[in-house]
Structures are given as structure tokens and as C-alpha cells.
């Protein structure tokens, strides 16, 4: 078996991806095919003895799409092309809407243009021209796709749109030419413009997904310095081999996954683990591509080539998670696959029946067209967009950004809500929670804070910054220091310029290095650690006290977890932080299910394990390391304070960075999806009720149009119920 990945152009919705997938898998030589609309790619596994790559490309071409032979063009060019196409579609939508407005307005205000041309009223001619431009120029992709599907004996939403708009337009044209005043140009143009809006929103969603992958790829560096014969040589990272020695200076990104063989430093691994505190690295420690070397020059032996680095694995897992998640087959398409051929058949039967009974071609045609007009999917076109518009508007007012309509469906059957810890449930920055003075040595809190803040003022370490901020809050007067020295992985030392006393700020290892008695420090660690970081202060070789530092839990975290339990959703904590810290936070906020010390790929695997036992999973995170899990989960929610990549891959963004908004987002999504289902019911209810009446000749096209209009009003009023929730999402939505 062979595998290939092809870039495909011409897909304009998820149905296109499904159609290509269906055509490929029809061939016995194709074992498996995964077509990803968002990434515009097809991953195909095939038997070369049965089918070759050119035949696969031909199948895609015959389906009406093109294989992009220049798929390896640069990210900048791809982004430029995507933005240009989006701009083009926005322009098409704008022009189509402007042409539709005069025709649509006439439904409510009967404007007239005096005079006739070729015995046809000028008003009717203007409506004919405006709607014709919209239907045949801007709506051409729908008709084209519907024709392709017709050849293959398939139907979808495009078939319904094409059938409805063409029947309304062509009948109105015939009626206009025969002096009939009941015209339906407004329906034809309105449906086309509305569906164009939906397609444009889908395009924006697809472009966001592509940008997410671009941002992941841009994290890595392009070059590395290798040491060869004692000299540093710069090479492209793709050319660096395993076991070569690379050199990384302070402030630089790590180019490749490697193991330190010389030097000691602190590494910012927040893009990988999500944790804000730097990690001490020395000889034998592993370092990872795209993490940042903070303060020491190191040499390291390359462990894997660039294509197998942790960053590359994250990129691959995002792509794979997208591919394995089948595009949502919209409910409207599923219904229309039965509804469309049924309506066409009924329309033909109506014409034949009346013609055989009366012999009156005009009467038979009017009855048949009435059936088609009643089935015209104006309400169906409104059913989902209007509910999504209201739902997203309510969400935005409440700090919840819902990026796509699929998020509403994804939230309907959720079982487990999995949270990342740092930056999601906690603030993500170290803060001083408590100070403890060494009463044995008679130090005061004021002096302890002054020494700690003075030493911290000279360091850029996040823990030092937390101590400095605490000192500023307490209005501490900083001492004048000299001989400042930073000891990587231990702390800092200095001397007071005025009193010449020796000062130190750091961990237990620093105290031992300075030969300071650590009995008091050990007792403090044994009795007060509780997962917090303890930073000791020494004054003239005596311990003055300590700062207890931890990441603070966000204000509404406990309430959010309690609310999830109330609506029978199981909260779970999945963190890259150490086990003790994770369990302490979980215990404090009310979560009993905790998994800690997991890397990004391990987080993804934990999500997959839950899904393997038929659990529907929400994942809430904020870091780059959370991107694969956000995509793999049934619903991904990204905190607004997080990285761009987390926000791009999430289905929902919590703008206000409040965990309580996660609960509200789930409730709002469920409520909105319920409204969508109700709207779809009403969209078909009036039509299917009126079709038998149309077939029997009891109603005419005008009544059919009124039926369509009444269903529109019903759908709009039903959708506006979302606005009636006091506070937007906190009241009756609780029952969703």
C-alpha cells in the first residue's frame, strides 16, 4: 500500500469534501481517503498495483475539482492567495446583496416604475434584470455544482438552492411575459444572496484553520549553528543530522530537539508545557525545538532531525486530528437528499395529473410550479444562519466568541469537560501568596520584603518579578546593592553597598552552596510546601525568612466547576505541571479526576482515550501545547488570554478569560442548536403541509409564497427567543 497527500482546489463547502471522498472510495484500489475541507488536502491510501497516482488525480478532476500541482509554494504566497480569494467572495456577496435589496424591499413597499417596454411593465423588467444577475451570475456556482451532482445522481443543499431559485425565476419570467402580476423574483434573488452569505462565512472559517497551521509552522527557527572542527557553522535546520552538536546563546530559540552536553541554563518551555515558570537545564537535560534559552550559553547533541521534533509532532497531530474528524453532514443536506427528489417527483406528477385530467397546459404548469415554489428553501436558508447570528451575538455580548456554526452542534451531547490548568483555571503568573519570617533570628516582615525585593530587582526571572511586584505593593524601599551574581537554577546573591552585608535570594540548593544552616528551611519545606515554590532570603549567612509563591486560581473557577456538576458534566484536569501542584489546585476547586505531567501528544492521547469509550469531550486550554487537544476534542474552547494558535484551533474563544464563561458557552451552544433544530422543523413544516394542497390545486403560487413568508417569520421569531434570556445565557438556558 502507498500513501499520498494531494492539495485540492475548488472545494467550497464540507459537502464538496464528502463528494470527493465518496468518489475516491468507490474505486477498489483506494483503501482509504480522508478529504479535509479546512486544509484543502486529501490523504489517500491506495494499492499501486490497482490504481496509480495519475488515475487518482483524474477521479478528483472528473468530480469537478482540481489537484494543485504547486502545493509546495511558500506560506506567504498561500496566505496571499487565500486572502485575495476571500476578498473576491466578499465583493461578490456585497454586489449580490445590493442588487437584491430593491427586489426584496418590494415585498414590503410596492415601489413602481411607470411605463412599459414590449408590453411588459417596467417594474417587472427591472426586477427581472436585477434578480437575473443575482441568480445566474452570483448564483452560478450553485447551479454548476447541482448539475455535477445530477449527473452522478446525487443531491445536496446546492441542488435545493438551484431548484428553488430557478423555478421561482423561470416561472416569474413566464408569468411576466403573459401579463401575470404574481411574480417571485424576490424569492429567487433573496435565496441566492442568503446562501452566498453562508458560503462566505464557511470560507472565513476555513481560512482561520489554515492560518492556525501557518502559525504553528512559524514557531520554529530556520537555521542552527553546528560546531564542526571547533568552528561554528550555520546550517538550515532541515540539513542538520542526528548527533551533530549545536550551540545556543542566551535569548535564542532552541532549533532542534537535543540533549545538553555543555553548560547550564534556564529554558522557557511555556509553548510546550503551558507552564509559565522556566525550567533549569544542565548537562544531560533534554531541550526542545522552539523553546527559548533564557540565560546561559549551551552546547547540545541533536536527538532527532527537524521532521521528528516535538514541534513537528504537534503540527502533525493537529493535521491528523482534523483529518480524522469527519466534516459535519449538515442536517439540511441530509433532509434535502430525500426532500429534493421527492419534491421534483411530486411536481412532475402534479403536471401530468392535471394535464391528463383537464388538458390545460397552463393550469397544469401553474400547479406544478406552485409545488416547486412552496418547496423553495427560503426558510431553510434562514433556519441555521439566523439562529447562529442571534446565538453568536448573545455570546459576543457576554464575552464568548463562537467561531463557527458547527460549535453549536458539537456541544449538544457533551459528557466530559477537560481543563488545562495554567492560564485556564489559574492566572498563569507566579504571585507571592505568603511570607514567613525566621523568628529565631528576629527578622521583621518589613526587612524580609526589603531584602527580597532589592535582590529581585536585579533579576528578570519570573519568580523574581513576582517578589519585586509584591515588594512594590508593600512600598518597600530598595537597598543599594553591589557584586550582584545570578546562579542559574539556584537564585541570586549580592552585597549591600552601605552595610557590606551578604544577601541571597534563592532555593535550598543556593543556601547549601553558601554554607548556610538549612535546618529552619527544611522544617519550612516539610510543613508548608503544599505545592508552592519556596524562595528563601538570607542575610549575612542567616536565613531571614521565605516567600511562598504559587499560581493563583482564577476568581470564578470554583463556581464554574460547581455549575458543570449541576448540569451533569464531568470536569477533569489535564496538565503538564507537576503532579503535586495539579492535585492541590484540583482539590481546591472541586475536581476529582486529575492527570498531570503530560506532554502535548500525551494530552491528545488522553482525549482519544475518553472518546474511545464513547465520551463526548470538551477541551478548554490556552497554550500552543493545547492546540492538538483543542482540535481532537469534540468541542475546543480557547481562553482569550492564550496564544494565537490556541485561539485559532478552538471552536469557541472565551474573550473575558473567565472559566465561568466556559459553562455559559456550553449552555448557549446547546440552546442555539435546539433553536436550529426547531427552525429546520418549521422550515419544512409549512412547505410539506402546503405541498398536498398545491398538488390538488387548492392553493396558487401566491398562497405558496405567503406560506414561505409565514415560515420565515416563524423562524425569525423563534430565533429571537435566545435574546430573551436574562443576562444572555444564565437563566432559562440552564435547561438546555
Question: How many other C-beta atoms lie within 10 A of the C-beta of residue 4?
Answer: 12
Question: Which of the residue ranges 30-44, 274-288, 326-340, 556-570 would you say has the lowest mean pLDDT?
Answer: 326-340
The closest alpha carbon to 213, from 322, 84, 77, 72, belongs to 322
Residue 66: strand pairing partners: 9
Question: Which of the residue ranges 20-34, 113-127, 160-174, 548-562 would you say has the lowest mean pLDDT?
Answer: 160-174
Find how far residue 131's CA is from the centre of its chain. Answer: 36
Report d(CA 432, CA 311) in Å as an integer. Answer: 33
Report d(CA 530, CA 526) in Å as an integer. Answer: 9
Give 625 or 607, the one with higher predicted confidence.
607
Q: Residue 329's pLDDT is what?
A: 40
Q: What is the mean pLDDT of residues 526-547?
A: 84
Span 642-673, pLDDT tens digits? 556 566 667 888 877 789 989 988 998 888 88
Burial per residue of 476-499, b for 16 or more beta-carbon CB atoms within 10 angstroms, e otherwise: bebbebeeeebbbbbbbbbbbeee
Span 471-518, pLDDT tens digits? 999 999 898 999 999 887 788 999 998 888 999 999 988 999 999 999
Q: Residue 612's pLDDT is what?
A: 92
Q: Residue 78's pLDDT is what?
A: 64
Helix (H, G, I), strand (E, B) or coil at 84: helix
Give 269 or 212, the one with higher predicted confidence.
269
Q: What is the mean pLDDT of the chain?
A: 81
Report d(CA 363, CA 581) in Å as an integer. Answer: 79
Band of pLDDT at residue 14, cut at 50, 70 and 90: low
Q: With 60 as the cut, is the pLDDT of residue 38 above it?
A: no
Report d(CA 651, CA 217) in Å as an integer. Answer: 20
**E strand segments, 229-322:** 231-236, 245-248, 258-262, 265-268, 279-281, 286-287, 292-293, 298-302
Band of pLDDT at residue 618, cut at 50, 70 and 90: very high
Q: Residue 728's pLDDT is what?
A: 43
The closest alpha carbon to 345, from 734, 691, 109, belongs to 691
Band of pLDDT at residue 726, cut at 50, 70 and 90: very low
Span 619-650, pLDDT tens digits? 998 866 788 888 889 899 988 765 565 666 67
Length of the chain: 736
Q: Residue 617's pLDDT is what?
A: 93
Q: With 60 as the cut, is the pLDDT of residue 314 above it?
A: yes
Decide: 549 and 466 in contact? Cβ < 8 Å. Answer: yes
Catalytic residue among 420, 551, 626, 712: 420
**E strand segments, 497-541:** 502-506, 533-539
Q: Residue 201's pLDDT is what?
A: 65
**One CATH from 3.40.190.80, 3.40.50.1000, 3.40.309.10, 2.60.40.10 for 404-418+556-655:** 3.40.50.1000
Give 406 or 290, the one with higher predicted confidence.
290
CATH number of 223-307: 2.70.150.10
CATH architecture of 427-553: 3-Layer(aba) Sandwich (3.40)
Pairing of strands 298-302, 652-654: unpaired
Report d(CA 370, CA 152) in Å as an integer. Answer: 27
Band of pLDDT at residue 168, cut at 50, 70 and 90: confident
Give 343: exposed, middle or buried? Use CB within 10 Å, 0-12, 13-18, 19+.
buried
Residue 476 CA: distances (Å) to CA of 138, 435, 438:
69, 14, 19
Domain locations in the chain as residue ranges: 2-72, 223-307, 404-418+556-655, 427-553
DSSP 729: T
For the chain, what percentages of helix, strand and coil (3-state, to nearest 5) are there?
A: 55, 20, 30
Is residue 420 annotated as part of the catalytic site, yes or no? yes
Fold category of 2-72 in CATH: Alpha-Beta Plaits (3.30.70)
Amino acid at each position: 500500500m502507498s500513501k499520498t497527500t494531494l492539495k485540492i482546489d475548488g472545494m467550497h463547502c464540507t459537502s464538496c469534501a464528502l463528494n470527493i471522498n465518496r468518489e475516491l472510495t468507490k474505486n477498489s484500489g483506494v483503501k482509504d481517503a480522508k478529504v479535509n475541507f479546512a486544509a484543502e488536502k486529501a490523504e489517500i491510501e491506495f494499492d499501486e498495483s490497482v490504481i496509480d497516482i495519475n488515475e487518482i488525480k483524474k477521479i478528483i478532476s472528473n468530480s469537478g475539482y482540481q489537484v494543485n500541482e504547486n502545493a509546495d509554494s511558500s506560506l506567504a504566497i498561500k496566505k496571499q492567495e487565500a486572502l485575495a480569494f476571500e476578498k473576491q467572495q466578499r465583493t461578490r456577496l456585497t454586489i449580490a446583496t445590493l442588487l437584491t435589496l430593491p427586489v426584496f424591499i418590494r415585498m414590503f413597499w410596492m415601489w413602481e416604475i411607470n411605463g412599459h417596454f414590449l408590453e411588459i411593465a417596467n417594474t417587472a423588467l427591472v426586477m427581472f434584470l436585477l434578480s437575473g444577475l443575482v441568480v445566474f451570475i452570483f448564483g452560478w456556482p450553485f447551479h454548476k455544482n447541482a448539475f455535477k451532482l445530477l449527473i452522478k445522481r446525487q443531491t445536496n443543499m446546492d441542488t435545493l438552492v438551484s431548484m428553488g431559485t430557478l423555478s421561482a425565476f423561470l416561472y416569474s419570467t413566464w408569468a411576466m411575459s403573459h401579463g401575470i402580476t404574481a411574480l417571485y423574483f424576490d424569492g429567487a434573488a433573496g435565496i441566492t444572496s442568503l446562501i452566498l452569505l453562508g458560503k462566505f462565512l464557511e470560507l472565513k472559517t476555513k481560512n482561520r484553520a489554515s492560518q492556525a497551521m501557518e502559525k504553528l509552522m512559524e514557531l520554529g527557527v530556520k537555521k542552527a549553528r553546528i560546531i564542526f572542527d571547533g568552528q561554528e557553522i550555520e546550517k538550515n535546520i532541515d540539513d542538520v543530522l542526528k548527533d551533530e552538536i549545536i550551540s545556543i546563546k542566551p535569548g535564542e530559540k532552541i532549533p532542534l530537539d537535543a540533549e545538553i552536553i555543555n553548560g547550564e541554563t534556564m529554558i522557557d518551555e511555556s509553548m510546550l508545557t503551558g507552564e509559565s515558570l522556566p525550567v533549569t537545564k544542565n548537562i544531560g537535560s533534554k531541550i526542545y525545538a522552539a523553546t527559548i534559552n533564557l540565560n546561559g550559553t549551551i552546547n547540545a547533541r541533536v536527538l532527532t532531525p527537524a521532521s521528528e521534533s516535538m514541534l513537528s509532532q504537534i503540527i502533525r497531530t493537529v493535521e491528523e486530528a482534523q483529518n480524522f474528524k469527519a466534516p459535519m453532514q449538515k442536517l439540511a443536506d441530509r433532509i434535502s437528499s430525500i426532500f429534493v427528489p421527492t419534491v421534483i417527483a411530486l411536481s412532475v406528477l402534479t403536471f401530468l395529473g392535471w394535464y391528463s385530467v383537464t388538458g390545460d397546459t397552463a393550469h397544469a404548469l401553474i400547479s406544478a410550479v406552485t409545488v416547486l415554489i412552496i418547496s423553495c428553501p427560503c426558510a431553510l436558508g434562514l433556519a441555521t444562519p439566523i439562529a447562529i447570528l442571534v446565538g453568536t451575538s448573545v455570546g459576543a455580548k457576554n464575552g464568548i466568541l463562537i467561531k463557527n456554526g458547527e460549535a453549536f452542534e458539537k456541544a449538544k451531547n457533551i459528557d466530559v469537560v477537560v481543563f488545562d490548568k495554567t492560564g485556564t483555571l489559574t492566572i498563569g503568573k507566579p504571585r507571592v501568596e505568603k511570607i514567613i519570617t525566621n523568628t529565631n533570628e528576629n527578622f521583621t516582615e518589613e526587612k524580609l520584603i526589603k531584602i527580597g525585593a532589592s535582590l529581585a530587582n536585579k533579576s528578570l526571572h519570573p519568580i523574581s518579578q513576582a517578589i519585586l511586584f509584591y515588594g512594590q505593593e508593600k512600598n518597600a524601599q530598595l537597598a543599594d546593592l553591589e557584586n550582584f551574581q545570578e546562579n542559574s537554577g539556584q537564585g541570586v546573591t549580592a552585597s549591600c553597598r552601605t552595610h557590606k552585608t551578604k544577601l541571597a535570594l534563592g532555593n535550598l540548593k543556593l543556601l547549601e552552596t553558601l554554607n548556610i544552616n538549612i535546618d529552619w528551611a527544611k522544617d519550612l519545606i516539610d510543613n508548608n510546601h503544599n505545592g508552592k515554590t519556596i524562595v528563601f532570603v538570607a542575610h549575612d549567612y542567616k536565613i531571614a525568612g521565605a516567600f511562598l509563591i504559587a499560581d493563583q486560581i482564577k476568581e470564578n473557577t470554583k463556581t464554574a466547576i460547581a455549575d458543570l456538576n449541576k448540569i451533569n458534566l464531568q470536569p477533569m484536569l489535564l496538565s503538564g505541571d507537576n503532579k503535586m501542584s495539579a492535585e492541590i489546585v484540583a482539590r481546591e476547586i472541586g475536581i476529582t479526576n486529575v492527570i498531570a505531567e503530560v506532554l502535548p501528544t500525551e494530552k491528545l492521547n488522553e482525549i482519544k482515550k475518553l472518546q474511545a469509550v464513547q465520551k463526548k469531550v470538551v477541551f478548554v486550554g490556552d497554550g500552543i501545547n493545547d492546540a492538538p487537544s483543542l482540535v481532537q476534542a469534540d468541542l475546543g474552547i480557547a481562553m482569550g488570554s492564550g496564544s494565537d494558535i490556541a485561539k485559532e484551533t478552538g471552536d469557541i474563544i472565551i474573550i473575558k478569560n473567565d472559566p465561568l464563561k466556559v459553562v455559559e458557552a456550553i449552555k448557549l451552544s446547546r440552546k442555539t442548536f435546539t433553536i436550529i433544530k426547531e427552525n429546520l422543523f418549521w422550515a419544512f413544516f409549512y412547505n410539506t403541509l402546503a405541498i398536498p394542497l398545491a398538488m390538488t390545486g387548492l392553493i396558487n403560487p401566491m398562497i405558496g409564497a405567503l406560506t414561505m413568508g409565514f415560515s420565515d417569520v416563524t423562524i425569525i421569531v423563534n430565533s429571537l427567543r435566545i435574546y430573551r434570556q436574562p443576562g444572555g445565557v444564565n437563566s432559562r438556558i440552564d435547561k438546555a
